[in-house]
Structure 1
Amino acid sequence: MKCPFCQHPDTQVSDSRTTDEGNCVRRRRRCPECDKRFVTIETLEMRLPDIVKSNGARVPYNAHKLRTSLERALHKRPFDNEDVDDLVASIEGRLYRLGQKEVSSRTVGEMAMDVLLATDQVAYVRFASVYKSFKDVSEFTQAIATLPEQREDA
């Protein structure tokens, strides 16, 4: 690490601590040249993978696009913005865990359908109808027939 005062190219770490959340490291440093002290904070930088579209184009991951799709599927359903944020975070977590630089748009769509199926079946059918480009009512009927049975516990 270069000294911010004298620009000496090598500084010494005198103390390292992780933050309370555990996702940053705070380091106290000293410059051997000018003897000044300063603090650096290191954070992990994680990038979501690029998305490979069906036509082969590669685009950066766009959380806004995913969020908009989920919001449309959940429109007039009993979910608020925080619920949508949780769904987006869930999908992003799965993308991080894949550990890949590129992921197909189909994979992201399947992940979205998985979280919607576990969350709200109506939203799942809405999303699937657009994602899978349903052509007629019979495709809706088939999608509904594949849904797991919901038990009514009263």
Structure 2
Amino acid sequence: MTRSFRSRRILEKSDIITAFKMARVFESDEPKLLRAIGWYSKGKLSNNTFDQFFSYWNVIEIIGSCYHTPTERTKSGVKNQVYQCFIENFGDIDNWGLPEKWIDSMHEKRSQIVHGGEDTTLEAIDETSKMIPLLEDTSNRIINMIIDHKYDRNDFLHFDF
């Protein structure tokens, strides 16, 4: 099977070493972050719309459930934890760059897919596929936001001289 990628980046030895350094640190210090990165990777590699949706939404749920300040509201479930995480990392809801009630609608779509309530018609798949780019971008942004809040990326860089 041939995969179609938007770009073909040529990796250097230093890129591989940097990635392994990050993975080793995340494995011991931030295993949930590493798990979220794994789901993001799965979404990037999948050609199945529902797998992509589920993979990217898993990133958001994992990050949201682990990287939020507990409040009375966050005791009410993962959706509220995601909201709190986004507030803490992206600021006021008007600064998120997301449609109104986006978290609610994505959470509802996830529930429909997981519990079998989602149609598998071509039209339903097409509608879900339209949600993927923003979901992918948002999951990428939240991963990077957490990494940047917790680490200095320069500490992971490897230079070949």
TM-score (normalizing by structure 1): 0.24
Rg larger in structure = 1
